[in-house]
Amino acid sequence: MTMLALYMFPVLFGLLLVGVPVVFSMLATATAFGWLVFDHALVFQFIEKIEDVASNFVLAAVTLFVFMGCMLERAGIAEQLFAAVHIWTRRLPGGLALGTVIMCIIFAASTGVIGATETVVGLLAIPVMLKHRYDKGLICGTICAGGSLGTIIPPSVVVVIMGPLADVSVGDLLVGMVFPGLIMSGFYLLYIFGLCVLRPEAGPVAEDDDGMTLAEKLRITMVALVPPMCMIFAVLGSIMLGLAAPTEAAAIGAAGSVLLAAFYGRLTMAVLQGAVMKTLQVTAMIMAILLAGSMMTGVFIGAGGVQLAQDLVEMANLGPWGLLALVLGLAFLAGFVLDWISIVLIMIPLFTPLIVAAGFNPVWFCILFLVMIQTSYLTPPMAPAIFYLRGIAPPEITTMHMYRGVIPFILLQFATLGIILLFPETVLWLPSKLLGFN
């Protein structure tokens, strides 16, 4: 019976390779193998999984964070943020790219939705950087890598889903990812600045003068940046100070995005309706994949898959660090062919108990896994970040520009991974101080 669990993944990957959508691939695999394992009791097994997903209140944060991002996108608030950031960075080497990364950081901290961040920022930044003759590879790498920061900068929809699967507090994960997110963002900024100092033609300094006085710049910055930053502080600050659970903080963010749209005079029925419909589409997609993955995981466990995995690991005699390297390596390879939610649903329930049994902290492991997942956004052939960019980029930016542009940023992601591996306190210190995490 346990060998059935081993055959599930080749069947799943086979369905994916022939073009079957992820959710139907998981459902078909779960149904076929579940019937062999549970027979008629499979119906009750699936009903239980539906109830588990439907009654998990933590997942309500997914809908609320998605709505917050969709509301900011539909209300056009990103345009004001973009203009305010570039006022201060445009005269630096690579200033437009630096400002774009900063914009991505702010927007990632406002939404947690990667596709929304990359699409909105890309539409704003690409024409400006092309106008100033920026290197096309740098443009692509900046947009793709910056847009994917929503994985590692809180609030993150990925973390909301990962927490219950790993049996780890979502609040601990959201707080623990703060420093890794800042480290990775800092690497991006240092790389862009260093590249454009050494190769000025890659990111020319803006030659035209914006003609603004310091008072005007400060006024625009105050109007464009301060209200969104207040909303970000309300969401993340309430979690870090222990005043609100992640779901409650997400509700604050959702309400704050509506108030922000009203503050800027952008709140109309059309904007609200568009944000709600987009939220429904994104949430339905995520929840459908989550439910299918939960069903497949249940069948895998029922077939003795966890015990089989433990036996295989013990037979391999890898040791704790060898096991960790294996899991992270598998996550990296899976990123070539699977989207992030599939990787999380398949690997986190399977490997987290093994990692904990090996003596590693589960919060630290989850953040390491997050960083590794982030590389999947940039590594072909799946590379969702490249797909998003391909949909909004003009014809003069080719796919080869995109592939070439993301390589340095993938290396920077691995550098961040190395720092977290060497210094676990980059993840564990802040939750211990703010949330009393041990």
Q: Which amino acid is at 270?
A: A
Q: 315: which residues sit within 8 A by CB, 6+ positions away?
A: none
| CB distance 184 to 408 below 8 Å | no
Q: How far is CA 390 from CA 58, 116, 119, 373, in A?
A: 33, 14, 10, 21
At residue 420, the pLDDT reads 96
At residue 127, the pLDDT reads 87
Residue corresponding to tokens 């009903």: 47
- Number of independent structural domains in the chain: 1
Q: Angle 77-89/60-74 helices, nearest 10 degrees?
A: 70
**Does 81 fall in a domain?**
yes
**Does 2 fall in a domain?**
no
At residue 182, the pLDDT reads 93
When the pLDDT of each residue in the chain is averaged and rounded to a whole number, the result is 84
**Does 199 fall in a domain?**
yes
Question: What's the pTM?
Answer: 0.83
**Does 36 fall in a domain?**
no
Q: Where are the alpha helices (DSSP H) in 303-383?
A: 305-316, 319-334, 340-357, 362-376
**Does 47 fall in a domain?**
no
Q: Which domain does 429 fall in, by range?
A: 56-434
At residue 365, the pLDDT reads 95
**Does 276 fall in a domain?**
yes
At residue 179, the pLDDT reads 94
Q: Which residues of the chain have pLDDT under 50?
A: none
At residue 418, the pLDDT reads 95
**CA neighbor of 99 nearest in space, from 12, 210, 10, 15:** 210
Q: Which tens digits make up the pLDDT trace of 57-90? A: 777 877 888 888 788 777 777 777 877 888 888 7
**Does 320 fall in a domain?**
yes
At residue 83, the pLDDT reads 78
At residue 190, the pLDDT reads 95
**Does 100 fall in a domain?**
yes
Cα angle, residue 200 at apex, residues 194 and 203 outer, rounded to 5°: 80
At residue 116, the pLDDT reads 65
Q: Collapsing DSSP states into helix, strand and coil, what is residue 212?
A: coil
Residue 150 DSSP one-character state? G
At residue 360, the pLDDT reads 93
- 209 alpha-carbon distance from chain centroid: 36
